[in-house]
Amino acid sequence: MKKVLLAILILTSLAVLAFQFKPVKKVVSIVISSIETPSLINKDSLTIASRVNIPEGYKRVNYTEGSFEAYLRNYKLKAFGSKIINYDDTNYFWQGGHIGVLEIPVPKNGLQQCADALIRIRSEYLWDNNRKNEIGFNFTSGHYCSWTKYAEGYRPKINGNKVTFHKTASANTSKDNFYKYLNLIYMYSGTLSLYNELEAVKAKDLKIGDMLIKGGSPGHIVMVADEVVNVQGDKLFLLFQGNTPAQSVHLVKNLEDAVISPWYQLEDDTAISVSNYRFSSSKFVRFK
């Protein structure tokens, strides 16, 4: 009972401050989120789908087994409460914006930043499903670099914005070489290349695996991890992200709407806040 009274007292105090000082709004939202949404979180679960419950009146959108959408929805998570860890094994400075950490290693080279983490997830799905010939991404220069050509021994020669490919290595289709290829992609691709390369989609057509992206330096990107719908056709989504510096990939809270957090309503041409980043002048895109 004392804890409930204390929580009410804290919320009342913050509400008074929020009325007077606009910057406190986010703090209020964080506190409310921690109190109002525990029923949407299963702390003992170890996948995205089982970690987050469906809001009342909604149901999960069906996807076929083996699809990219099903792959993401059932992605493995670390134990609840796991911290976001930077590539150098230090703790990320803010641990208040996530409800789960995905089981994706963070290379010590620091290259696997926000766009790179999503590139890795997409590439590993294609690799695991015998679709290796579909693995390929544009450099920021616009030049396409495929895993198939890399595995044959072709390497880029880069001179400013001019890129040519030459066979300078022996053919190697191993998993170790695949991750060397991804390191190359991390170096020369990013939010700007994905922003320019990928097909734009409207919010009404969003599905799991689609991304919200702001291209640039710095830019940012998040991916849809799950999707639910009600009888009116209204949809809610879960989002996850990597970050800069390179760090653990994590499911983000919705700090703007504590009632449905960690679910998000996503609309075209609106500002959307995710953890430590606010998207504006951004768009939704889809991998080919």
Q: Tell me how far apart the alpha carbons of residues 151 and 146 are, in angstroms, rounded to a whole number.
A: 9
Q: Dihedral of CA 4/9/10/15: which sign?
A: positive
Number of residues assigned to the chain: 288
Q: Tell me how far apart the alpha carbons of residues 57 and 31 are, in angstroms, rounded to a whole number.
A: 25
pLDDT per residue as tens, the chain (288 positions):
433 333 444 444 444 333 332 333 344 444 444 444 558 999 999 999 999 999 999 999 999 999 999 999 999 999 999 999 999 999 999 999 999 999 999 999 999 999 999 999 999 999 999 999 999 999 999 999 999 999 999 999 998 889 999 999 999 999 999 999 999 999 999 999 999 999 999 999 999 999 999 998 789 999 999 999 999 999 999 999 999 999 999 999 999 999 999 999 999 999 999 988 999 989 999 999
Instruction: For residue 11, count other CB atoms closer than 10 A to its CB.
Output: 15
Let me know if 31 is exposed, middle or buried by CB neighbors in 10 A (0-12, 13-18, 19+).
middle
- The CA angle 110-281-213, to the nearest 5 degrees, is 35
Q: Tell me how far apart the alpha carbons of residues 286 and 268 are, in angstroms, rounded to a whole number.
A: 15
CB pairs under 8 A, 24+ apart, for 126-129?
127/175, 127/178, 129/66
Which tokens is 168 given? 């300078």
Q: Tell me how far apart the alpha carbons of residues 183 and 54 are, in angstroms, rounded to a whole number.
A: 37
What 3-state DSSP class applies to 210? coil
Phi and psi of 22, rounded to 5°? -60, -40
